[in-house]
Structure 1
């Protein structure tokens, strides 16, 4: 799997903050684990990239969860990310197949739906997590996260997210950027940036041409200063021990019922699709623990 990474940058004398990420390898691993169709791969990849960049806005042990709950056939998209560059995610229905949209592209908005909400839950180490939500405005996800930043966090932002899937359904490239405007920019500077954004080809077109995320930011912004480069990695925290604790939390009667009905149990992790098998003897041991 290729090395995925994220950069943090500033421009225009620190009045613009930027993040850009290459997520190609992580998305390909998740595609292979979940057997996602091209449109499901694209929807998951766009949300993963947004999650990784939003995770990079956090500090220390802080983490967040994104839930995209639209009315489309893909169901819910869930992504976890943290300040250390670790991400994981899944879609409810990875088998969704849709025809290409009117411009010949993967119909992400058709899969996600055009009605619903994006929910962001941030664990900042406080007593209660921070939670924000905004309506889905297009289902294409880049516009939806742009709207989230403007309305929920009051930060004018431009979010570009893209996934290019090859003819064999593998991930050819996946990535994106977030540009955030800080107070102090003149109207002329904002107008220039908007013109560059509107004239920029899709981020996956630039990546497929061989441009790095650093070079993409340099096309967009003058005087880019790269502040940090962080490795991104897929990491799921599931394990046999954690799944065992989940089973124990069901209670003695529930486990006894599994034992009597099936004689064994198999638990599949939503995030990584790993399967955890418990024999009848192991289930009996759990029952005895709870007795």
Structure 2
């Protein structure tokens, strides 16, 4: 199944909802970064959330960044997404291994205590920055808390990544459901009941549920209306030219030191792990373009 996001409303516009299947993009991220199972689960959950939250942005030039910094062995996660649900991300320590907790990958233990930052660059003078303390470090609950406290939008977030025995990604996906300020008690109560009784995201996906069917469970009895579907994928916009600009920005002194070493340098993109090589002659050309 191709990765995609569905957008929907329910309860006569009192609820808006998003659901995604992201197994392919999470597997692609795992291959790029050679992540351990627990790191794959953590990054996969945040990539899934990033894709759905990116699709909420209004303008094609808008960029969303999700950052988690924790005191656990993973260190941190960074994910960026655009309004077309192109998403990329990385883990600070991708090879972390932890024993399972209650039969599940211990994402909370891998991340530890820390902070969640949500940065929205919407072309204004300053980007919007929201920050909350991690509640469980399981990511879905932390985003639920973020929406309620930083954006004042009562929400329910479900995220899941299921691994195969060979440590590849079996399935991944999630949902975000948000209620409008004018929601009635009747709709809210029904939604809360549904969420209490649904099975986990991974079990729904493992049973073959599509994003539409997932929302059908979450919003059962609330007149679900699918309004839109859009593809989502792991996509990094790095290039040798962009890396060159980054080297130019470090200044002549440091570039001269690289030239004096007489060795080619290798620069890796954080987001997709692609390597770019520059020989001494290329560094000399870059030096000419540096200002300081």
Fold conserved (TM > 0.5)?
yes
- Structure 1 unaligned spans of 5+: none
**Higher mean Cα deviation, 179-188 or 40-49?**
179-188
1:139 to 128, 137, 142: 137
Pairing 1:45-194 to 2, within 5 Å after superposition:
45-60=44-59, 61-101=61-101, 103-113=102-112, 115-194=113-192
Aligned residue pairs, count: 288
Cα distance in 2 for partners of 1:7, 1:125 equals 26
1:187 CA drift (Å): 2.3
Residue aligning to 1:224: 224
Q: Is 2:249–2:290's contact at 8 Å kept on the other side of the alignment?
A: no
Matched, 1:278 2:247: no
Cα distance in 2 for partners of 1:83, 1:288 equals 37
**Once superposed, what is the RMSD of the aligned Cα atoms?**
1.2
Describe the superposition over 1:75-111 as per-residue Cα deviations: whole angstroms up to 9, x where unpaired.
Answer: 110000111111000010100000001x110000001
Cα distance in 1 for partners of 2:283, 2:187 equals 65
Residue aligning to 1:26: 25
1:262 CA drift (Å): 5.3
Cα distance in 2 for partners of 1:9, 1:183 equals 17
**Higher mean Cα deviation, 57-66 or 90-99?**
57-66
- Structure 2 unaligned spans of 5+: none
Residue aligning to 1:12: 11
Describe the superposition over 1:31-76 as per-residue Cα deviations: whole angstroms up to 9, x where unpaired.
Answer: 0010000000000011011111111111122111010111111111
TM-score norm. by structure 1 comes to 0.96
**Higher mean Cα deviation, 72-81 or 183-192?**
183-192
TM-score norm. by structure 2 comes to 0.96
Pairing 1:243-262 to 2, within 5 Å after superposition:
243-261=243-261
Cα distance in 1 for partners of 2:69, 2:127 equals 19
| Deviant stretches of 4+, over 4 Å | none
Residue aligning to 2:208: 210
